[in-house]
Structure 1
Amino acid sequence: MASISSLGIGSGLDLNGLLDQLKEAEEQKLVPILERQETQQTKISAYGQLKSALSQFQTAADALNDSTLYESLSTNVGGSAITAAADAEAQPGSYNVTVDTLATRGTLASEGVAAADEGITAADQKLTLNFADGSTQEIDIASGSTLEGIRDTINATEDAGVNATIINDGTNFRLALSSSETGADASIADFSFDGAAPFTSDTANTLQSGTDSALTVNGIDITSSTNQVEGAIQGVTLNLQEEGDSTVSVEQDTRAVREAVTNFVEAYNGLKDKIGDLTSFNFETGEAGELLGDGTVRTVESRLRDVLGGAVEGELSILSDIGISHKYDSGLGYSKLEVDQDKLDDAIANNQGALATFFAGDSDEAGMAGQINTAVEQLLGSNGRVEGAISGAENLNKSLVEQYTRMEQSIEQTMSRYRSQFGQLDGMIAQMNQTSSYLTQQFDALDAQLGRG
């Protein structure tokens, strides 16, 4: 059989052009499949957006399902002498704090030596560090150590109790020791060598003893070895910054609750906006959202409407009791949550116990937030409506891919049959043309003979 490029040579017909037209017609069979594939891929993406918005709403609701949220306390500090932080053991109250003295580290400097990098120890020996509380620390110093080497040995010793540096006083180099911890007891007092000392401590001029911090809380004297004072106020850590007066108020952390409620409302409204986009219809352009009329979306909206419109047991039983209500937006065509800030602030400031019962309840699923979490979990679970819709769209898309492949193979087989048939047709017409030409020649020759006779 002749190749495609030679089709039509024998017959003089445009068989290649005809094949192209036939192929184009056959490939139209793929168009509906491609359109259905595109529809399913669009749905999968839309269901993914719906799932994401639902998950964000679930996360916001779950934050309100934590009873500790309504028990948290915060500190409000006036003045710059301190900062403060409250933990779960703190109790509401107000305190006047006066910082008289900050805790400091003890420091001690040695006599000077001419060079920091020349050996100054004649033999191996021990350096003994003495502290104000009577404790000591022994450190082995190698023979021939330089001032820098002694510094490094001290700093490499675990629990040395000091940090070592070198100070140049303009004439000589001196070993400077600073207590690792603040406070009078942890202060470095002096040091000594068990052999010939390469230098001595200059206690008369360079010893600065560490001090404890001193402060008063509501007139009560308190001392601490550090500037981080725990236990002076139950459940509150005071971080001393400078000498002076400050006030500390420990109160319920209303901001955290307010932010959690606000995030809940915003997450729900974000979900409604996403559903609005996915189910929209523009009457002017005829453009429709990806999930317009979709049963899964209707199920989601119905389930959430039932939960949010329901009641829980307690002094506050429905959303409107805390200042949250549904408001229809005619421009959008659907309802969103709206907050009466004064009513919400009143519940947060004066009735956090009832607010905790409303959202968190006495079990994971008793409060409004727990019921929402359960509803969303059922929708998003492996057997839920949303996950089922995603799986269905993915399976259908997979089936369409297989259908597309089979159709491509069928078209190729059809075109192969056409090529073969066209090749046979081309050859047959070529033979007929040859026969016609031969007969014409014979008749012409016969006519010529008869004419001469």
Structure 2
Amino acid sequence: MATISSLGIGSGLDLNGLLDQLKSAEREKLAPITQQQQSYQSQISAYGQLESALTQFQDAAAKLNEAEFFQGVTSEVTGDAVTAAGGSDAAPGRYDIEVTQLARAQSLAADGVDDKTRELDSAGTLTLSVGSDDGTTIDIAADSSLEDVRDSINASGAGVQASIVNDGDAANPYRLVLTSEATGTESQMSVSFDDGGTASELGGLLSYNGTDPDTMTQTVEAVDAALSVNGISISSQSNTVEGAVQGVTLSIAETGSATLGVERDSGAVKSAVKGFVDSYNKLQEKMADLTSFNAETGDAGELLGDSTLRSVESQLRNALGGSAGDGTFQVLSDVGISLQVDGTLELDEEKLGDAVDNDLAALSDFFTGTDEAGGLAGQVDGVLGRMLEEGGLIANSTQGLEDSIERLGERYTRTEENINDTIARYREQFAQLDSMIANMNSTSSYLTQQFDNMNAQLGRN
């Protein structure tokens, strides 16, 4: 039997076209699988959008779950003498500040030498002390220059900054200057150099303990900052003053007067509560979009009828509608937040403002709670945490869809293999049919020719 290399050549039939139609019909079996995969993928994307909205709402709730947040203050300084930074324990009030002296660091200067790079007869041990510390010892090599001594001091971590000053003297202009890194009278320096009794040049330059004989000169005296707050005199080793006003750090800039006003940051609390309401309403809007249905077009949200989303809605309603203890404020409506028919929250800013201005402690207790059980914000944060955590409601639902997509992928592969096997079988059958019809046509032509020859021999027309 002849082998047919291209379908239809032997029979004259469009077997390739027919095979393509059969192949297309067989591959229609893959369409439902692909559509289901796309549907699951759309749901996963929808869960991602829901998770994002839930996370934003959790952030808003968590902010109201910090008692320190309700104790925040704002500070305003009038005058240039100081700047201020208030902490959560700052005491609200008005403070009149008078700065009469800034804290200064002590500076000592040695006598000059002719060349800062010249080797000094300087072998020995330099000891630097700041305040009451035990002192830092620095080994100085015999061939050290004034620059080398400076660099050794700066690398020692002694709390002293060394520099070289050119004072313009014609003979010996280069003077080593030591400055304490800390201000105040408790950071005065002492300097000594032990050269083993060799009367070295450096030993004759570096000596100071505040009493004669000192070879170094005090050029800047160490002094404490002096100020008064509401008439109370205060001394500080540093120009950064803590404790002069409870919970406030003052930074002294110059001598003079300033007025500090400290107030509770009620604006931040109101803004945070409004953010809580707005974030929840955005979450509601997103959930409504994911479960929407257009009767005219038939378009539906990706999570219409989804049990996970219904569970999210139910748990949030229970958390927001529940009681937060037995204090002054017990439910959301007590602080001006009401649940609407459409599921959103509405804020009565006047009622909230009254709670913030007149009973901030009770408002803090309402949101943060007075014990480990937590207030309303803590309860909401806990519910959201369980939804969003690894192995939680959203993660489990997403994982279930991903597993389904994986199984559909395996099913798609098996179906495609079956389709390919079927098409291969059709091709083989069509090839056999083509060959058979070709043989039949060949036999028919042969018989016709033989009959024509017989008729010619018999004289038949």
For the aligned pair, the TM-score class normalised by the smaller chain equals: 0.7 to 0.9
Match of 2:140 in 1: 141
**Secondary structure of the corresponding residue to residue 187 of structure 2:** coil
Specify the alignment match of 2:180 in structure 1: 179
Unaligned stretches of 5+ in structure 2?
A: 207-213
Q: Which amino acid aligns with 1:29?
A: K
Q: How many percent identity over aligned positions? A: 50
Partner of 2:286: 274
Displacement of 1:345: 1.8
Letter in 2 for 1:209: E
Partner of 1:56: 56
The match for 1:390 is 398
Q: How many residues align?
A: 446
User: CA 1:242/1:8 → structure 2, altered by over 3 Å: closer, same or farther?
Assistant: same
Q: In structure 2, what residue type is equivalent to 1:179?
A: S
Alpha-carbon contact 1:23-1:415 (below 8 Å) kept = yes
Structure 1 distance, partners of 2:137, 2:45, is 70
Q: Contact 1:44/1:390 (CA < 8 Å) preserved in 2?
A: yes
Q: TM-score, normalised by structure 1?
A: 0.87
Distance 1:365 1:3 in 2: 85
Contact 2:91 2:262 in 1 (8 A): yes
The yes-or-no answer on 1:156 pairing with 2:155 is yes
- TM-score with structure 2 setting the length: 0.85
For the 8 Å contact 1:87–1:236, the answer to whether it is kept is yes
- The aligned residue for residue 418 of structure 1 is 426
Q: For 2:103 and 2:183, how far apart are their aligned partners in 1?
A: 6
Q: Which moved more, 1:380-389 or 1:425-434?
A: 380-389
**One-letter identity of the residue aligned with 1:338:** E
CA distance in 2, matches of 1:62, 1:122: 68
Alpha-carbon distance in structure 1 between the residues aligned to 2:35 and 2:16: 29
Structure 2 equivalent of residue 440 of structure 1: 448
8 Å Cα contact 1:365-1:374 kept in structure 2: no
Change (3 A) 1:151 1:427: same
Partner Cα separation in structure 2 for residue 203 and residue 327 of structure 1: 84
**Aligned in 2, Cα 1:2/1:39: closer, same or farther, shift over 3 Å?**
farther
Describe the SS at the equivalent of 2:459.
helix
Q: Deviations over 1:59-117 (max 9, x none)?
A: 32233233333344554433332223344554444322211111112223334444433
C-alpha distance in 2, partners of 1:3/1:209?
113
Within-5 A mapping of 1:267-306: 267-282=279-294, 285-306=297-318
CA RMSD of aligned residues (A): 3.2
Question: Do structure 1's residue 79 and structure 2's residue 79 form an aligned pair?
Answer: yes
CA distance in 1, matches of 2:124, 2:386: 75
Could you list the per-position Cα deviations for residues 26-68 of structure 1 after superposition, in whole angstroms to 9, with x for gaps in the alignment? 1111111111111111011102211221232223223323333
Counterpart contact for 1:72–1:253, Cα < 8 Å: yes
Conserved? CA contact 1:65–1:364, under 8 Å: no
Whole-Å Cα distance in 2 between the matches of residues 140 and 387 of structure 1? Answer: 65
What is the distance in 1 between the residues matched to 2:93 and 2:410? 71
Which whole-Å CA distance do the structure 1 matches of 2:168 and 2:22 have between them? 99
- Residue by residue over 1:140-187, the C-alpha shift from the partner in whole angstroms, topping out at 9 and shown as x without a partner, is 2111112221111111113x2311123344574432322111113423
Range with greater deviation from structure 2 (39-48 or 281-290)? 281-290
CA distance in 1, matches of 2:138, 2:397: 73
Contact 2:122 / 2:201 at 8 angstroms: preserved in 1? no
The answer to whether the Cα contact below 8 Å between 1:189 and 1:207 also exists between their aligned partners in 2 is: no
Q: 1:339 to 1:442 in 2, by over 3 A?
A: same
Structure 1 residues 37, 347: closer, same or farther in 2, change over 3 A?
same
Q: Structure 1 residues 2, 413: CA separation in 2 closer, same or farther (over 3 Å shift)?
A: farther
Mapped to 1, the partners of 2:271 and 2:6 lie a distance apart of: 78
Structure 2 partner of 1:331: none
Once residues 186 and 2 of structure 2 are traced to their aligned partners in structure 1, the CA distance between those partners, rounded to angstroms, is: 106
Number of the residue aligned with 1:14 = 14
Q: Which residue of 1 aligns with 2:337?
A: 324
* Counterpart check, 1:238 vs 2:250: yes
Deviations 1:226-269 (A, max 9, x none): 11222333443222122121223444343443333222112201
1:200 maps to 2:205? yes
> Separation in 2 of the partners of 1:434 and 1:318?
96
Matched letter for residue 279 of structure 1: T
Greater Cα shift, 296-305 or 420-429: 296-305
2:380 to 362, 372, 375: 372
Say which of 223, 239, 250 aligns to 1:227.
Answer: 239
Q: CA deviation at 1:412?
A: 0.8
- 1:139 to partner: Cα distance: 2.6
Distance 1:284 1:244, change over 3 A: farther
Whole-angstrom distance in 2 between the partners of 1:104 and 1:382 = 56
Matched residue type, 1:37? Q
Query: Which residue type is aligned with residue 60 of structure 2?
Result: A
**Which sections of structure 1, spanning at least 5 residues, go unmatched?**
329-333
User: What amino acid is the match of 2:156?
Assistant: T
Supply the AA of the counterpart residue of 2:33.
Answer: I
Choose 368-377 or 26-35, whichever is displaced more: 368-377
Give me the whole-angstrom Cα distance separating, in 2, the residues matched to 1:204 and 1:152: 19
1:131: how far off?
6.1
Q: Which one is further off, 30-39 or 187-196?
A: 187-196
Evaluate the alpha carbon distance shift between residue 326 and residue 131 of structure 1 in structure 2; reply closer, same or farther with a 3 A threshold: closer
Where 1:100 maps in the other structure, the secondary structure is: strand
